[in-house]
């Protein structure tokens, strides 16, 4: 909590300082960054400024608008030793702000989660009707892109795969192809949709899996993967390995 309050104070101060310097910048033809010290000073300002831009954008996105004029006034008054709020009150109102932010974030996450769930149900229903798509008893959907002639793994095997994972809108959240490096993992230590799906594949095969959220990450929000997301994977089974590898 103390760290959050400290960051909020820094953000407000930098915003105010930036606003106060706008007039000065009009008169300043260029920024001199000739020395290491100048670059370091500018780098600190730019770094905190980048943080502040994102912080304010995040707050605006969830419906919290901060009065920039009051931020500037608070900064100026504090520099002059004439702050209208004492430190205890400042801590109190910033704690309230942090609470409001968390509440708004939770409300937004809940709405987005419901949207993801509804979108997944519709997508799965439509996808199941497509030619070449098979639906298993668990609800996993798969399509054979190319069939290999190797062995099939069991849940206790370690497998080596290439894969690409996307959300329903096509947003790619992970890809071993992008890293140019296959991934190796124990088949019983990944999401249920993968554990089930890869056991259907022969080595050398490439499948497309559409995995319902309950066979993926459920109601967990992983950032790139919103809660209740139905996921689409293209997976190549490269080999079955005897030696156990760490889960990835």
Residue 173 bears catalytic tag: yes
The single residue of 163, 185, 207, 209 carrying the catalytic annotation is: 163
Of 7, 16, 8, nearest in space to 77 by CA: 16
Do residues 232 and 164 touch, judged by C-beta distance below 8 A? no
Residue 209 bears catalytic tag: no
User: What are the start-end ranges of the H helices in 62-161?
Assistant: 68-79, 87-128
The single residue of 77, 174, 219, 221 carrying the catalytic annotation is: 174
Residue 174 bears catalytic tag: yes
Residue 51 bears catalytic tag: no
The single residue of 207, 211, 217, 225 carrying the catalytic annotation is: 217
Burial 16-43 (b: 16+ CB within 10 A, else e): bbbeeeeeeeeeeeeeeeeeeeeeeeee
Of 203, 204, 166, 164, nearest in space to 183 by CA: 164
The single residue of 142, 207, 209, 233 carrying the catalytic annotation is: 233
The single residue of 191, 211, 221, 225 carrying the catalytic annotation is: 191
Residue 211 bears catalytic tag: no
Which residues does residue 174 pair with via DSSP β-bridges, in sequence order?
165
Neighbours of 205 (CB within 10 A): 20
The single residue of 51, 64, 77, 173 carrying the catalytic annotation is: 173
Residue numbers annotated as active site: 163, 173-174, 191, 217, 233
């Amino acid at each position: 909590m103390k760290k959050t309050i400290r960051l909020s104070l820094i953000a407000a101060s930098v915003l105010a300082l930036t606003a106060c310097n706008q007039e000065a910048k009009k008169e300043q033809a260029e920024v001199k960054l000739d020395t290491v010290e100048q670059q370091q000073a500018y780098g600190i300002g730019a770094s905190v400024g980048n943080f502040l831009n994102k912080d304010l954008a995040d707050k605006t996105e969830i419906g919290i608008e901060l009065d920039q004029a009051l931020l500037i006034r608070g900064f100026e008054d504090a520099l002059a030793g004439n702050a209208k709020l004492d430190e205890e009150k400042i801590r109190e109102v910033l704690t309230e702000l942090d609470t409001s932010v968390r509440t708004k974030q939770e409300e937004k996450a809940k709405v987005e989660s419901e949207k993801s769930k509804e979108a997944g149900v519709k997508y799965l229903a439509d996808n199941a009707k497509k030619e070449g798509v098979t639906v298993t008893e668990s609800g996993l959907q798969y399509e054979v892109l190319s069939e290999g002639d190797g062995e099939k793994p069991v849940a206790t095997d370690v497998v080596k795969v290439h894969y690409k994972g996307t959300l329903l809108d096509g947003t790619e959240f992970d890809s071993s192809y992008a890293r140019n490096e296959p991934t190796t993992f124990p088949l019983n230590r990944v999401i249920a949709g993968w554990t089930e799906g890869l056991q259907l594949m022969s080595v050398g095969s490439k499948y497309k899996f559409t995995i319902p959220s309950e066979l993926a990450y459920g109601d967990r929000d992983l950032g790139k993967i919103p809660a209740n997301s139905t996921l689409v994977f293209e997976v190549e089974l490269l080999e079955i390995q005897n030696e156990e590898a760490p889960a990835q």
